[in-house]
Amino acid sequence: MSPSEATADAAVAVRPSAGRHTLALFISELRLVFGRARTQVGLGVLAAVPLLIGIAIKITGSEGGTDGFIGQIAGNGLFLIVASLGLSLPFFLPTAVTVISGESLAGEASLGTLRSLLTAPAGRSRLLAAKMVALAVFCLAATMTIWISGLIVGFILFPVGDVLLLSGSTVSLGNGLLRAFGIAIVISLSLLGLAGIGLFISSLTSTPLAAMAATFGTFVVLGILTAIPQLHAIHPWLLIYRWQSFADLLRDPPYWHEIVRNLLLQAGYLAVFYTAAWARITSRDIT
């Protein structure tokens, strides 16, 4: 049938660069995640963490006294970054990751946009990859928000200078900032396991709220299991068991063993739940 053949040729002609724009979906995905007011509010809350801690310490003027990183803030504003990251890790950051990851696929399914994306065609595996990349970028953005906010507030409110490490030695401010940056990176990587769980749960349902609740529930259960001493045999397998290892970057020299174990564990969780999400999304009936 000749008209159609002509159309086919024309269609090829209007798409001279077929197959070259794989990145567009990923960029669009980032726009979707970071363009939403919900995400921006979440990041704003995270940015407020260092501010609140900083103001509280400034007002109470607690000099030394307190143990840990908080006690060091008054002496060196740089520790505001570390303390804020450390304090956000148990609750704020996981909550943010839960919301964004729970939303990711279930949100599209509930809006019905999933079918439009798939007929575009985005490709199911590629869409999943774009979702995961956006989640990873969000994890990084979340910790970097705290890092930057902590940096600004810490430098404004407190004196800054050479950084006292856990091992009792002192390094330059630049070195300290680099280590704090490393901590932000390690923490954002630590969140990837949870992001993977959220992505998988999100692929199961068309109700974003249910996905968020289930992801957060899973996180809480993992936290409880980690807190039960009798279960120490399974502890090394639990998602958050080595989350606190980020502080090992503040030793002299940095102690990598636990950090590497943590990252391997996160990679394991991510691999399992990402492939599960893949199996689900590629075999799911999209209605």
Partner 1 sequence: MSAPVVTRGLTKRFHGGQVAVDAVDLEVPAGSVYGFLGPNGSGKTTTIRMLLGLIAPTSGEVELLGEPMPKAHLRVLPRVGALVEGPAFYPFWSGQANLLRFDAADRTADPKTRKARAGEALERVGLSNAANKKVRAYSLGMRQRLAIAVALMQRRELLVLDEPTNGLDPQGTREVRHLIRELAGDGTTVFTSTHLLAEVEQVCTHAAVMSRGKLLRQSTVADLRSELRPRLIVRTPDLGAAAETLQGMGVTELKTSEETVEGDPGELPIEKFAAALVAADVRIHGFGLERPSLEDAFVALTGEGFDVAE
Partner 2 sequence: MGVAQRSRRWLVPVATVAVVAGVGALGPVVADASPKLPTITAQDLLAKVQTAKVDGLSGTVHSSTDLGLPAIPGMDGADGMQGASQVLALINGDHTARVAFASPDKAKVSILDAQAERLWTSDGTSAWAYDSSKREATKLTLPAHSKAKPEKTLPQSYDPQAVAKQILTAIDPTTKVQVSGTEKVAGRDAYKLRLVPKTDKSTVGSVTLAIDSKTWVPLDVTVMPRTGNDPAVELGFTSVSFDVPSASSFTFTPPKGVKVTDEKVPSKAERPHSIPQRPGNPSLIKPTKPGTANAGKPTVIGTGWDSVAMIRGAQTGGLTGGPLGQLLAKAPSVQGSWGTGKIVTSKMISALITDDGRVFVGLVTPDTLQAAAAKAPR
> Is residue 168 involved in binding partner 2 (CB under 8 A)?
yes
Query: Pattern of binders to partner 1 over 120-149, x per CB under 8 A?
Result: xxxx--xx----------------------
With CB under 8 A as the contact rule, the residue among 25, 142, 191, 214 that binds partner 1 is: 25
> Is residue 276 involved in binding partner 2 (CB under 8 A)?
yes
> Is residue 119 involved in binding partner 1 (CB under 8 A)?
yes
Query: Pattern of binders to partner 2 over 62-101, x per CB under 8 A?
Result: --x--xxx-xx--x----------x---------------
Is the CB of residue 240 less than 8 Å from the CB of residue 226?
yes
Is the CB of residue 177 less than 8 Å from the CB of residue 243?
no
With CB under 8 A as the contact rule, the residue among 162, 172, 184, 213 that binds partner 2 is: 162
> Is residue 268 involved in binding partner 2 (CB under 8 A)?
yes
With CB under 8 A as the contact rule, the residue among 60, 113, 167, 169 that binds partner 1 is: 113
> Is residue 156 involved in binding partner 2 (CB under 8 A)?
no
Residue type, 100: I
Task: Tell me, by CB under 8 A, how many residues bind partner 1.
Answer: 45
CA triple 217-218-219, angle to 5 deg = 90
Residue 110's Cα: distance from chain center in Å?
A: 23
Question: Tokens representing 16?
Answer: 């001279």
> Is residue 248 involved in binding partner 2 (CB under 8 A)?
yes
Tell me how far, at minimum, the Cβ of 221 lies from partner 1, in Å.
29
Can you tell me the distance from the alpha carbon of 259 to that of 254, in angstroms, rounded to the nearest whole number? Answer: 10
> Is residue 99 involved in binding partner 1 (CB under 8 A)?
no
Can you tell me the distance from the alpha carbon of 47 to that of 58, in angstroms, rounded to the nearest whole number? Answer: 17
- Residue from 40, 149, 141 nearest 84 by CA: 149
Is the CB of residue 97 less than 8 Å from the CB of residue 192?
no
Tell me how far, at minimum, the Cβ of 35 lies from partner 1, in Å.
8
With CB under 8 A as the contact rule, the residue among 11, 166, 220, 279 that binds partner 1 is: 11
Binding partner selected for residue 69 from partner 2, partner 1, none, CB under the kind-specific 5 to 8 Å limit? partner 2
> Is residue 126 involved in binding partner 2 (CB under 8 A)?
no
> Is residue 112 involved in binding partner 1 (CB under 8 A)?
yes
> Is residue 229 involved in binding partner 2 (CB under 8 A)?
yes
Sign of the alpha-carbon torsion through 41, 46, 47, 51: positive
By CB under 8 A, name the binding residues for partner 2.
64, 67-69, 71-72, 75, 86, 162, 164, 166-170, 229, 237, 244, 247-248, 251, 255, 257-258, 265, 268, 271-273, 275-276, 278-279, 282-283
By CB under 8 A, name the binding residues for partner 1.
1, 3-8, 10-11, 14-22, 24-25, 27-28, 31-32, 35-37, 111-113, 115-123, 126-127, 283, 285-287
